[in-house]
Amino acid sequence: MGSKYFRIMEEIKQQLTDGLLKAGSKLPSVRQLSVEFSCSKNTVIKAYSELEKEHLIYSVPKSGYFVVNDFRIEKNEINVIDFLSAGPDKSVMPYIDFQHCINQAIEQYKEELFTYSDQQGLYSLRVQLVKYLQSLQVFTQPERVIVVSGSQQALNLLVSIPFPNGKNNILIEQPTYFGMIESLKLQQAKTFGIELTMEGIDLERLEYIFRNNDIKFFYIIPRFHNPLGHCYSNSEKKKIVELAEKYDVYIVEDDFLGDLDPNAKSDPLYSFNPSGRVIYIKSFSKIFLPGLRIAVAVLPTIMVNNFLRYKFSSDFNSSALSQGALEIYLKSGMFNSHLQKIKEVYHHKMQILQKACKLLLPANVYFSKPPSGFYLSIGLPENVTAKQVVHMLKEQHVYVDDASRMFLLEHEKGNILRLSISQVGEDQILHGVERLAHCITLINSRKNHNAPNNFQLF
């Protein structure tokens, strides 16, 4: 059986590599292959089972086996070192488990999933989300929970809708998530920034801005910040909430990676004022399947109806099929099992990345040290710009992100890189940092050598 099932696997992989089998293609039946390879049906089933484990194919009961990914493309890109992409690690995504949940959702809900559903989100899903949020120290009721089409939709709507405090201006950390900056720019919202470093923010400066600038809400990423990787302490979070309460400022808390926190005593800002001062947003895109386009927003009761009015004009309701499948996934306990796995994966990758940075980066290069999450930031020497490093590394098929787009114009810094560990292989991290260190050293030495002539590299 051994050699035969390996032969079957290699034959199918070769067809994928050569482009003879495309994504979505149906594979030959078990019976066909057993005849072709002169082997038992169990041998073919074993081969298909192993290909399923490698996420190359998937099975549909009573229909057969189908190709998941375009294997040929993946093989061609094997030498790419990707510190740029920020989606979840594809190797730990529960495609097969979730496929079963989709099938079960269709069977369970039938026509409900393909007609207009509850605008606030399936009530049964909101009940499960309330239970799930309790593990994050977010205690609420289904009536305050709104299912949105990804956290970006929630942020975009919150920028536009009027708040109970009647204020108009928005405060954001600097740097911060680029999607939020884009929403603010497109809606021409008056925006203030407050500098964030790995040491945190200046709380006296925060109080001054709250007191003097008519702030509608403060958008904050309290854990595993994008792009810095910074985490606030509980005492800092408590103080921020107290200041918001004092000056009638709302807080929009984007806790998109909160599940990955290895510190069980770390609480969200929401827990310091669950009555409604803090609007809590939780995305599933980074820890689960981004294509679901599902996130949850917990709003004060006074804001729910108005938020739903604006959401109605945006998309009426979020995907009912995604909601039904997610409800079953949460209820079954599969989500908790998946979370434990990815917490270990990302924590381990982050430790590898930090060790590589400590070992290889030049002494005059600063890097952040987040306990987990996706992001680590690198502060470059003054005469080395992020754009130069990005350009040089790209030629070597190493991709990193220039964080300058994550700043408002008046706060912009051009010497910060963001590295994401989510889609880079563990065995690639050391080699990627080695190339990064070499680029920084090379650019820095050329600049220093040519400084008297004001020579500019690139």
Rounded to whole angstroms, the Cα distance separating 358 from 367 reads: 8
Closest CA to 307 of 178, 167, 191, 156: 156
Assigned domain for 55 exists: yes
Phi, psi angle pair for 424, to nearest 5°:
-95, 140
Contact 241, 279 (CB under 8 A): no
Residue 452's pLDDT is what? Answer: 42
Tokens describing residue 279: 């609007």
Looking at the structure, tell me whether residues 51 and 173 fall in a common domain.
no
- 220 Cβ contact list (under 8 Å, min separation 6): 173, 240, 251, 252, 253, 254, 269
At 320, is the secondary structure helix, strand, or coil? helix
Assigned domain for 139 exists: yes
Tell which of 13, 45, 78 closes a domain. Answer: 78
Tokens describing residue 86: 């920020």
Looking at the structure, tell me whether residues 62 and 128 fall in a common domain.
no
The domain that holds 380 is classified in CATH as 3.90.1150.10
Looking at the structure, tell me whether residues 164 and 260 fall in a common domain.
yes
Looking at the structure, tell me whether residues 293 and 192 fall in a common domain.
yes
Looking at the structure, tell me whether residues 177 and 285 fall in a common domain.
yes
Beta bridge partners of 417: 378, 402
Looking at the structure, tell me whether residues 11 and 123 fall in a common domain.
no
The domain that holds 19 is classified in CATH as 1.10.10.10
Residue 26's pLDDT is what? Answer: 87
Neighbours of 263 (CB within 10 A): 12
Low-confidence ranges of the chain (pLDDT < 50): 1, 72-77, 451-458
Looking at the structure, tell me whether residues 360 and 437 fall in a common domain.
yes
- The count of domains in the chain is 3
Assigned domain for 90 exists: no
Looking at the structure, tell me whether residues 213 and 304 fall in a common domain.
yes
Assigned domain for 355 exists: yes
Residue 75's pLDDT is what? Answer: 44
Residue 231's pLDDT is what? Answer: 95
Assigned domain for 84 exists: no
Assigned domain for 349 exists: yes
Read off the pLDDT of residues 135-169 as tens digits, 9 standing for 90 and up. 999 999 999 999 998 899 999 999 999 999 999 99
Looking at the structure, tell me whether residues 124 and 209 fall in a common domain.
yes
Tell which of 19, 51, 78 closes a domain. Answer: 78
Tokens describing residue 195: 């500098």
Tell which of 78, 105, 120 closes a domain. Answer: 78
Closest CA to 291 of 266, 315, 267, 319: 319
Closest CA to 376 of 358, 391, 393: 358
Assigned domain for 83 exists: no
Assigned domain for 202 exists: yes
The domain that holds 121 is classified in CATH as 3.40.640.10
Q: What is the dihedral of CA 427, 430, 431, 433, to 10 degrees?
A: 140
- Residue 437: alpha-carbon gap to chain centroid: 26
Looking at the structure, tell me whether residues 416 and 282 fall in a common domain.
no
Looking at the structure, tell me whether residues 408 and 432 fall in a common domain.
yes
Residue 449's pLDDT is what? Answer: 56
Looking at the structure, tell me whether residues 114 and 227 fall in a common domain.
yes
Domain that holds residue 382: 337-453
